[in-house]
A and B are shown apart, each in its own frame.
Chain A
Amino acid sequence: MDKATRPLVLTWIALMALLATTAGCALLRLGWLNTAISLAIAFAKALLVAIVFMRLRRAPALLRLAAVAGAVTLVLLFGLSLTDYVTRTELKAPWQQPATVAPRFGSG
């Protein structure tokens, strides 16, 4: 393992460790912490792959900007849509007209 591949090996080991951690924690009853931990670990894994494997660590600013642009746009989609969902309670409709489209596909 030469100097250049060392970061790659260390990253792989870290990814495996994080995977074991997230799987292990999921089996414990931690309430809301379960979600927080699994999302945080997923975020950490994604960052490691992006920064080390995808070489964002030493990339010009433009590539890092391109990497982030999609995520920022997704945050806008989620954030502004949530202004609707967080402030609206759904009420069940008393009656729903059945569909008139051709019968559905499926396994049955």
Chain B
Amino acid sequence: MTSAQNDASIVDDGTQPHERRDPSYLVGGYRLIDWLTTRDHKRIAVLYSISITFFFFLGGVAAALIRLELATPQGDLVSDDTYNKLFTAHGIIMVWLFLIPSIPAVLGNFLMPLMIGARDLAFPRLNLASWYLYMLGGAIVLWALLAGGVDTGWTFYTPFSTMFSNSHVVAALFGVLVLGFSSILTGLNFIVSVHTLRAPGLGWFRLPLFVWANYATSLILVLATPVLAMTLVLVAIERLFQVGIFDPALGGDPLLFQHLFWFYSHPAVYIMVLPAMGVASEIIPCFARRPVFGYRFMAYAILAIAVIGFLVWGHHMFVSGQSMYAGMVFSLLSFLVAIPSAIKVFNWTATLYKGSIRFSAPMLYALGFVGLFTIGGLTGLFLAALALDVHLSDTYFVVAHFHYIMVGGSVMAYLGGIHFWWPKVTGRMYSETWGKIAAIVIFAGFNLTFFPQYLLGYAGMPRRYHSYPPEFQLLHVLSSAGAVTLAVGYLLPLGYLAWSLRHGARAPANPWRATGLEWQTDSPPPEHNFATPPVVVREPYDYTPESP
């Protein structure tokens, strides 16, 4: 029993409301300035959640315009220049302003100290600095977009970005640089916290897999992001001084940019998916009432994904002019990275076996994550095969592949996590009916949007084109219809979650009867998280299936 459970004022399983001992973190300094100067990781998480939601919908507007344009074969809604700026804006915003921070900076910031039994992260002021850097980076990117936009694609490929683009490239590069530093500091904070602040009894193999996932993500954040930072600086220098480091006529090499860029950007996709896997590993055992299958393999698989993820970046360059021999090396390594991911999918599935499954809203999102991530992951194997990639590269097949993982995977897991921990963060229960409706609408809308894109890509539809031959129109119309459905699905939680803040039932400490230290304290937690510092004696995921 943790010391919290010994206290008679908290009922056994935490599912009943009770007298609070300490005021929640939301009470106390209530002025704006108290929130803007907070050192509380929970308040910083809330600050992030507001900014990230804003940028998600901004990126969504860009996507809506793209899908609207693509509903007809002619490029008739926007000019080709504007279209380039739209998909660039969509990419930059969704990757750096939404996906990379989403789970770590919102859920990770809130939950990591709670899950390890600590009173805060190791460096609270650095945590606040991370948020300010995020806001600064976001402001700079916004300025670049409003001042006329960037048309290079989120990948800033040379020589177009260095020699021929006449858009606000340097400003966008600077914004992304600042965002990169924000994420490095978050990663640093998590690494030091997990190593030094774990509660007594909380050995590494008693940690929730969410902690393992964010820890591995933090390793990538700290080691890969600086390479991106310097690469973007080199692009900016090249634009300003035209020295030719990426220009073959002047002795440079455009592939030098691609090697440096993808060295970060491939591990970046694992930054986007590993925390999502962590969320799934928390939700699935809880709503199947079974411990996660193969805990140690799950932990090792997380580390393996992070490590092998550093070795595969050349698969983005198979048709770029990279040497064929390097292509073979990267292709082999890319097949290897699928193995730990597959192990995780098998283990999530095995966790469900003979469980008492409850299809709550978080569970719908988590199961959706597992299925859609699997499809996206399998199509990655298509792309890892050299010969197939020659056909599929730069087509909509690639677009579908990464959206299955990043949207079908990461965004669904993010929403699942938001719902799962909503009672803990806000102290309110959301409407379970609306939660389920939104999850199903999102799942349906997502598949309608992106499955046709696999077919389009296989048939040869290139990516980043705003007009296309008429025979592709049916699939594009289906995809755009799906996008409308998806938009409705994403707007629903804005409605019912906001509504619950005022009118939702008050949440008990542990409404889901979940294991984990975060559920042993009040909903919402007090400012210093635990009334008395917890001591851990139980193994993680100590669930038992209920008798029927």
Contacting residues, chain A, for B329 (C-beta < 8 A): 80, 83
The verdict on A2 contacting chain B, using a C-beta distance below 8 Å, is no
Bound-state Cα–Cα, A85 to B326, Å: 9
Bound-state Cα–Cα, A105 to B324, Å: 38
The verdict on B5 contacting chain A, using a C-beta distance below 8 Å, is no
A105, B241: Cβ atoms closer than 8 Å: yes
B310, A76: Cβ atoms closer than 8 Å: yes
Closest B residue, CB atoms, query A82: B326
Interface string of B250-270 (1 = CB under 8 A from A): 000101000100010000000
A99, B164: Cβ atoms closer than 8 Å: yes
The verdict on A17 contacting chain B, using a C-beta distance below 8 Å, is no
Closest B residue, CB atoms, query A76: B310
Closest A residue, CB atoms, query B330: A80
Q: With A70-B223, A101-B163 known to touch, is A80 a contact of B314 (CB < 8 Å)?
A: yes
B238, chain A: closest CB distance, angstroms: 9
Contacting residues, chain A, for B162 (C-beta < 8 A): 99, 101
Bound-state Cα–Cα, A62 to B195, Å: 9
B456, chain A: closest CB distance, angstroms: 31
Which of A70, A80, A101 contacts B164 (CB under 8 A)? A101
Which of B227, B248, B325 contacts A77 (CB under 8 A)? B227
Which of A83, A92, A101 contacts B239 (CB under 8 A)? A101
8 Å CB interface, B319-360 against A: 321-326, 329-330
Bound-state Cα–Cα, A93 to B252, Å: 12
A90, B253: Cβ atoms closer than 8 Å: yes
Interface string of A56-82 (1 = CB under 8 A from B): 000000100000011001001100110
Contacting residues, chain B, for A85 (C-beta < 8 A): 323
Bound-state Cα–Cα, A96 to B252, Å: 12
Chain B interface size, under 10 / 10 to 19 / 20 to 34 / 35 or more: 20 to 34
The verdict on A5 contacting chain B, using a C-beta distance below 8 Å, is no
Bound-state Cα–Cα, A55 to B239, Å: 42
The verdict on A6 contacting chain B, using a C-beta distance below 8 Å, is no
Interface string of A89-108 (1 = CB under 8 A from B): 01011001101111011100
The verdict on A3 contacting chain B, using a C-beta distance below 8 Å, is no
Bound-state Cα–Cα, A104 to B244, Å: 12
Contacting residues, chain A, for B163 (C-beta < 8 A): 97, 99-101
A50, chain B: closest CB distance, angstroms: 18
Which applies to chain B's interface (DSSP): helix, strand, loop or mixed? Answer: helix
The verdict on A88 contacting chain B, using a C-beta distance below 8 Å, is yes
Contacting residues, chain A, for B227 (C-beta < 8 A): 77
Contacting residues, chain A, for B242 (C-beta < 8 A): 99, 101, 104
Interface string of B199-228 (1 = CB under 8 A from A): 000000000000000000001000110010
The verdict on B166 contacting chain A, using a C-beta distance below 8 Å, is yes
A88, B323: Cβ atoms closer than 8 Å: yes
8 Å CB interface, B138-177 against A: 162-166
Closest A residue, CB atoms, query B317: A84
A104, B311: Cβ atoms closer than 8 Å: no
B247, A96: Cβ atoms closer than 8 Å: yes
Q: With A99-B242, A101-B242 known to touch, is A92 a contact of B310 (CB < 8 Å)?
A: no
B166, A83: Cβ atoms closer than 8 Å: no
Contacting residues, chain A, for B323 (C-beta < 8 A): 83-85, 87-88
The verdict on B249 contacting chain A, using a C-beta distance below 8 Å, is yes
Q: With A76-B311, A80-B311, A101-B165 known to touch, is A87 a contact of B326 (CB < 8 Å)?
A: yes
Contacting residues, chain A, for B321 (C-beta < 8 A): 88
A68, chain B: closest CB distance, angstroms: 12
Contacting residues, chain B, for A106 (C-beta < 8 A): 241
A77, B263: Cβ atoms closer than 8 Å: yes
The verdict on B240 contacting chain A, using a C-beta distance below 8 Å, is yes
Contacting residues, chain B, for A73 (C-beta < 8 A): 223-224, 310
A96, B248: Cβ atoms closer than 8 Å: yes
Closest B residue, CB atoms, query A95: B249
Contacting residues, chain A, for B241 (C-beta < 8 A): 104-106
Which of B164, B249, B314, B330 contacts A100 (CB under 8 A)? B164
Interface string of B470-500 (1 = CB under 8 A from A): 0000000000000000000000000000000
Contacting residues, chain B, for A81 (C-beta < 8 A): 259, 263
Which of B164, B248, B314 contacts A84 (CB under 8 A)? B314
Bound-state Cα–Cα, A37 to B273, Å: 44
Contacting residues, chain A, for B166 (C-beta < 8 A): 100-102
B311, A84: Cβ atoms closer than 8 Å: no
Closest B residue, CB atoms, query A99: B163
Bound-state Cα–Cα, A105 to B240, Å: 6
Q: With A84-B326, A101-B166 known to touch, is A96 a contact of B253 (CB < 8 Å)?
A: no
8 Å CB interface, B1-48 against A: none
A32, chain B: closest CB distance, angstroms: 23
Contacting residues, chain A, for B224 (C-beta < 8 A): 73
Which of A62, A76, A77, A93 contacts B249 (CB under 8 A)? A93
**Can you list 9 contacts pairing A with B, beta carbon distance less than 8 Å?**
A76-B311, A77-B259, A80-B330, A83-B314, A84-B323, A87-B323, A96-B249, A100-B163, A101-B166
A-B CB proximity, top 5 nearest:
A96-B249, A84-B326, A88-B323, A99-B163, A104-B242
Given contacts A80-B330, A100-B164, A106-B241, 11 further A-B contacts (CB under 8 A): A76-B311, A80-B326, A87-B324, A88-B322, A92-B248, A93-B248, A99-B242, A101-B163, A101-B164, A101-B239, A104-B242
